[in-house]
Amino acid sequence: MTALTLRGGMVWDGRADALREASVVVDEGKIAAIGTGAASGTALDISGYTALPGLIEGHAHLCFNAASNWRAVFDSDTPGRMLLRMVAHGRTMLEAGITTVRDLGAPTGLAIEIREAFASGLAPGPDLLVSGAPITTTGGHCWFMGGEADGELELRKAVRGLVKAGVDWIKVMATGGSMTRGTNTLAAQYSTGELRAIVEEAHRLGRRVAAHCHGTAGIRAAVEAGVDSLEHCSFAGPDGVDRDDALIDRIAASNTIVSQTISVGYRRWLDDGQRRQRSELLQRILKTGCRMIASTDCGIPNVGHAELAGGLEVFSELGGLSPVQVLRLATSASGELLGMADRGALEPGRRADVLVVSGDPTANLGALTRVRYVIKRGQVVFAAP
C-alpha cells in the first residue's frame, strides 16, 4: 500500500475548535503523521480544500429506497435486487464522505452480505455495523423484516440467532412506528422485563442493544431495561412532545447513547409549533449532558442516504450548536460511543478515513456537500470530476 501525503490544505482533526494548515501523511491504511513538515510517498495537492475525518452515520437503512413507495418496492424486491439496491445506496453514501454506517434494520442475511462485500472491497461502500432484522412483536413495527418474537424465551432465542448470524448490534422495537400500519407509536411493545431479557442475552454474548422508541412509555421501559442506545427518543405523546425531564436526567446519568435521527425531513414534516417542541427537547437533552451521536434514519421516505450533511445543519439549528460542535457528533463522538476507537479523528495511528471538501465546514456545514476526495483505509475511493 503506497504512502500518500495530503498537502497544501487545511485540516480539522475531529476535535479542535478550528482548522489548521498542515499535511496529512497516510501509510499502511493509517494516519502516519500530521504537521507542516510531514511528507511521504505520493503527494495529493488539496490546496484550497479542507481535510477532516470521514463522517459516521449512526442510523441508516440501506434496504429502503428513501421514497414514498418504499413498502411496495421492499415487498416486490427479490433478495438479489435488494442486495443490488443496498450496494447502490452504500456507494452513494461513500461518495458523500460517509465512511462508516450503523445500519439498524434490514433482512439479516443481506445485511451481513453487504457488510462483508464493502469490507473486502468487492463493492465500494462504507464500513458497516449491522443489526439485521429488528426484534419486534408479532405484527409489530417492521415485522416484515423477519424479526418477530414474543415472550422472554423467544426473545432470548432471537438474540442468540442474530449473534449466530454475525450481527454487530441487536435492534429492538420498543414502540410501534409510523412506517408500520396498525402499530402504536406511543405505546411500549415490550414490557421492561422482556426488554431486560434481550439486554441480558445480548450483553452475555458481547453485543449492545439499540432500542427504537418514540413514545415516552417505551423510552422509560428501554432505559429501565438497560439498553445501550435510544433511537429517535422523541418523547412522542398524543399532543406532540411529551417531555419527561426526570427521565432525561436518568438517561444522562445512565450514559445511554441518544441517537435522535434528526434529518432534512424535519424541514418538510414539522410545522412551527412542532419545530419549537423538538428544539426545546433537543436542547434539554444536550443541556443534561446525554451522550449523543449524529444520525438521520436515512432510507425512510424523503431522507436520502447521502443527506447526513443536511441533517447536521438541522441539528445545529434545533440544538443551538455551532458547526464544530455538530461535526464532532458525526466524527470523534460517534467513533468513541459506537466502540470504534480507530476512527472519527485524524490522529497518528488512527485509520485513514478522510474526507476532503471545498470550503470550511467548521464555519459552514454546507461545505460538506462539496466533496473533492474520499479516502477509506488510506485509499482514494472517490475523486470529484
What are the boundaries of each domain within the chain?
4-53+344-383, 55-337
Which tens digit of pLDDT belongs to each residue from 225-239?
Answer: 999 999 999 999 999
Q: How is residue 317 written as a grid cell?
A: 439549528
Q: Which fold has domain 55-337?
A: TIM Barrel (3.20.20)
Helices (H), the chain: 70-76, 79-95, 108-120, 151-165, 192-204, 216-225, 245-254, 266-269, 272-288, 308-319, 323-329, 332-337
343 residue type, one letter: R
pTM confidence score: 0.97
**CATH topology for the 4-53+344-383 domain:** Urease, subunit C; domain 1 (2.30.40)
Q: pLDDT per residue over 106-121, tens digit each?
A: 999 999 999 999 999 9
Convert the pLDDT of each residue in 303-361 to its tens digit.
999 999 999 999 999 999 999 999 999 999 999 999 999 999 999 999 999 999 999 99
pLDDT of residue 137: 98
Provide the pLDDT for residue 37: 74
pLDDT score, position 2:
81
pLDDT of 33-88, one tens digit each?
999 877 778 999 999 999 999 999 999 999 999 999 999 999 999 999 999 999 99
- DSSP assignment of 86-149 equals HHHHHHHHHHTTEEEEEE--S-HHHHHHHHHHHHHTSS---EEEE--SPBB-TT-TTGGGS-B-
212-241 average pLDDT score: 97
For 42, phi then psi, to 5°, come to -70, 140
What is the average pLDDT score of the chain? 97
Q: Are 60 and 296 in contact (CB under 8 A)?
A: yes
